[in-house]
Amino acid sequence: MILNPYPGLFVAVDGIDGSGKSTLTRMLVDWLRLEVFPTPPDSGVTGQAVLETKEPNKDGPFGKLIYADLAQEGSGLHARNPMRFQELFACDSLINSRDNVIPHLAKGGIVVSDRCRASMVYGAMTQEQIKDLMAMNQRIIGESFIWPDIVFIVDVPADVAMERLKRSHRDFLDGHEQFAVLDRTRNNFRYLAREYPNCVLIPDKGDRSPESKLAFIQEYVQEFLKKRASRVVEVQDSKNQALWAIT
């Protein structure tokens, strides 16, 4: 992995399926866009300072393969060889990082990702295999393997996540949305948070509202930005005119 070398800020929200990470990502993006880094109304800019991404991309070539495989109950590559299955995620992440994340960070923008390569821990049957997964991701993604400035990991017990998934009224739970997989992966995420940089656990035993978790994230992001207060980064348009300033 490469710690973010670009002027922009890279934030990811991760955790097991059913942890509420997608809801938190959406809330965080809305807060950043509305209250922290809004696009000036008179700038004539159609883009925004805050870019939201999601991995894997369901509409991308590798995302389609991933979700088709997860739909195969117990017979897909995800069940036969979880580590090999993670190669598809790494290829999907390469496209997102190269085409979306890096260009936006290079301009000084903010990227908020619903999942990042921290989710590779789904492929580890033991915590010792996480190192091997990191090496595989580095081999596939190469110089585009940018690690976020902050990785918020929503730490939810597997039984709480399963109950939330069942309440989502979906007719089918895929191969990653099974208790044994979620329980193993939760422990893998906790190990990752101890061993790898920039990871922040957000404990949730099922008794925390999305708003309380968002408040924690907001406070953490604000403190992080204060530490970078001496470094002013300007996002510039094609005419080299500043559109946003991150202070």
The C-alpha angle with vertex 89 and arms to 175 and 179, in degrees rounded to 5, equals 25
Q: For the residues 138-158, what does the mean pLDDT come to? A: 98
Of the candidates 143, 55, 150, the residue with the CA atom closest to the CA atom of residue 102 = 143
Per-residue confidence (pLDDT) for residue 35, from 0 to 100: 83
Per-residue confidence (pLDDT) for residue 119, from 0 to 100: 98
pLDDT tens digits, 28-47: 999 999 887 766 555 544 45
The structure tokens listed for 137 are: 């991701």
Domain hosting residue 202, numbered range: 2-39+46-246
d(CA 135, CA 71): 27
Number of residues in the chain: 247
* Helices then strands, each counted (H, E), the chain: 9, 9
C-alpha distance from residue 121 to each of 15, 75, 81, 182, 189 (Å): 10, 20, 13, 11, 7
Q: How many domains does the chain have?
A: 1
Per-residue confidence band for 225, with pLDDT thresholds at 50, 70 and 90:
confident
d(CA 102, CA 97): 6
Q: The pTM is what?
A: 0.89
CATH of the domain at 134: 3.40.50.300
